[in-house]
Amino acid sequence: MQTVASIVEGDGEVRALPELLRRLGPWLTPDFYTEIATPIRVRRDQFLNKAPEFSRHLKLAAAKCGEAGWVLILLDADDDCPATRGPEILARARQVLPHRSVSVVLANREYEAWFRAAAQSLHGQRGFRFDPADVVDPDANRGAKEWMGTRMTSETYRPVTHQPAFSAMMSLEQARERSRSFRKLCSEWSRQVGP
């Protein structure tokens, strides 16, 4: 058994990421059981810009997952380029935890971009309506929360409520096919989990 301890930046992700990771396991590595620890929530700016905060949260995650575990840092890319910012954060994390498995995934541009990538599979769920004529590159620009919100017909989009629900319902295949940052999450899972 392996444990994944994650670091996230939003209250919604604290509940949503474990939901998503519990689905990734049987899909990507069905022969291995993975324990999903409750994520550690950080303030992105403090975590990234204050070395003591960065170190403290990484060490806490390492303690939660144990020697054989995996530390996953999942943040929104916002306006950063995931291909450059992700490796920078990873290099810093490896200085703090040199003998541990650590991955950095930056959702491009925000967690909801993965819902946008799998929007067709969410049609009719929780009041969400998908129009095939409205297909966009999910990673192209910010505003995925607002994009989701304008397509909710019976309730207001709330990350704390909808991120876990949509993470449990979305098509993993659609998200992987349409989102580079979700493919990164999948490849990190496959690389870190297992023998």
For 3, the token pair is: 């444990």
Q: What percentage of the chain carries pLDDT values higher than 70?
A: 99
Q: What pLDDT shows up at residue 195?
A: 65
Confidence check: pLDDT of 100 > 90:
yes
Average pLDDT over residues 183-188: 97
Q: What pLDDT shows up at residue 107?
A: 94
Q: What average pLDDT does the structure give for the chain?
A: 94
Neighbouring residues of 121: CB distance < 8 A, sequence distance ≥ 6: 169, 170, 171, 174
- Which has more confidence, 58 or 195? 58
Q: Give the pTM.
A: 0.95
What are the backbone dihedrals phi and psi of residue 167, each rounded to the nearest 5 degrees, phi first?
-65, -30
Q: Give the number of other Cβ atoms within 10 Å of residue 121's Cβ.
A: 18
Q: How confident is the model at residue 141 (pLDDT cuts 50, 70, 90)?
A: confident
Strands 2-8, 34-36: pairing kind: parallel
Instruction: Write down the residue that tokens 């806490």 correspond to.
Output: 60
Q: Enumerate the domain spans of the chain.
A: 2-192
Q: What is the 3-state secondary structure (H, E, C) of the chain?
A: CEEEEEEECCHHHHHHHHHHHHHHHHHHCCCCCEEECCCEECCHHHHHHCHHHHHHHHHHHHHHHCCCCEEEEEEECCCCCHHHHHHHHHHHHHHHCCCCEEEEEEECCCCHHHHHHCHHHHCCCCCECCCHHHCCCCCCCCCHHHHHHHCECCCCCCHHHHHHHHHHHCCHHHHHHHCHHHHHHHHHHHHHCCC
Confidence check: pLDDT of 105 > 70:
yes
Q: pLDDT tens, 19-57? A: 999 999 999 999 999 999 999 999 999 999 999 999 999
CA dihedral 32, 65, 118, 16 (to 10 degrees): 130
- Which has more confidence, 151 or 141? 151
Average pLDDT over residues 116-128: 93
